[in-house]
Every structure is written in C-alpha cells, then in structure tokens.
Structure 1
Amino acid sequence: MTELENRVMELEAKIAFQDDTIETLNDELRTHQKHLAKMQRQLELLAQKIKEGGDSGLMPQHQEPPPPHY
C-alpha cells in the first residue's frame, strides 16, 4: 500500500469513529431533552397547584398555627 492509501484509510477510520460518537451524543441529548420536558411539565403542574391552593395540602399562611417556640 502506498502512503496515500494508508492516509485515506486512517481518515476513513477517524470519520467512522466520529460518526459513531456523534450518534451516541445525539441519543444522549434526545434522552436529556425528554427528561427536561417532563420536569418542566411537572414544574408547571406544581406551580398551578400552588396558585390554586385548594387541594394542594398547604394551609394559607393566616390559618397556619404558630411554630412551637411561640
């Protein structure tokens, strides 16, 4: 093999490795985006519950008993 063929084969191997790495990173990014979207939705639901106040299990501040040290 000539030096040029060796260099071309080396470059092809590097490109194949980079393609695999990019695909792996893309899969990870997709997974993180799904988790982030889920957490954002949960945060929206939590904020909505807090605004509504009703069945959230939280007492309004004026109805809350004072702490035990009072």
Structure 2
Amino acid sequence: MKQYEERLVRLETQLAFQDDLLEQLNQQLVLQNRDTRLLQQQLQLLSSRFKELQQNTDNSGQQPSAADERPPHY
C-alpha cells in the first residue's frame, strides 16, 4: 500500500510541475503574439511610408538626393 502512496505523490508532484510549465509556456506565447502584432503594425506603417515616398518621388520627377542614397559600403 505504501508503494501506491509514493507513486501517487510522485505523479501529483509531476502533474503540478507540468501545470506550472504549461502556464509559463502559455504566458510566453501571449507575449510573442503581442510582439508579433506590434511588429506587423510597424511593418505596415513603414510600408505605407515607403510607398508614399516613392509616389512623391515619382510625381515630382526629382532624383533622390545624396542623403537618400545608400553609402558606398552597401
């Protein structure tokens, strides 16, 4: 009978650790989803800004200034 009690205690302990780990993983997933949404919003803003700058350059017929060009090491 004692061996069953010990086994039950081990299983309950293991279950408690697994529950804790599952909660930690869930919290990490929530944080990653939040970060992903933020990055997607930033990418959308940058994409919109880039398209706007491209249209302004195309409509004005001006060449990009030296400040807009890539440095020679690129």
Could you say what secondary structure the match of 1:63 adopts?
coil
Q: What is the CA–CA distance in structure 2 between the aligned matches of 1:24 and 1:2, rounded to whole Å?
A: 33
In structure 1, what is the Cα distance between the partners aligned to 2:29 and 2:57?
A: 41
Residues 4-43 of structure 1: pairs in structure 2 closer than 5 A: 4-43=4-43
CA distance in 2, matches of 1:39, 1:60: 27
Return closer, same or farther for 1:65/1:48 CA change in 2, 3 Å cut-off: closer
CA displacement at 1:65 relative to structure 2: 4.7
For 1:20, the aligned partner's letter is D
Matched to 2:32, the amino acid is H
Give structure 1 regions of 4+ aligned residues with deviation exceeding 4 angstroms.
none
Q: How many angstroms does 1:22 deviate by?
A: 0.5
Q: Does 1:50 align with 2:54?
A: no
State the identity %.
Answer: 35
TM-aligned CA deviation for residue 63 of structure 1: 0.7
Instruction: Give the TM-score normalised by structure 1.
Output: 0.76
TM (norm. structure 2) is 0.72
- Give the gaps of 5 or more residues in structure 2: 70-74
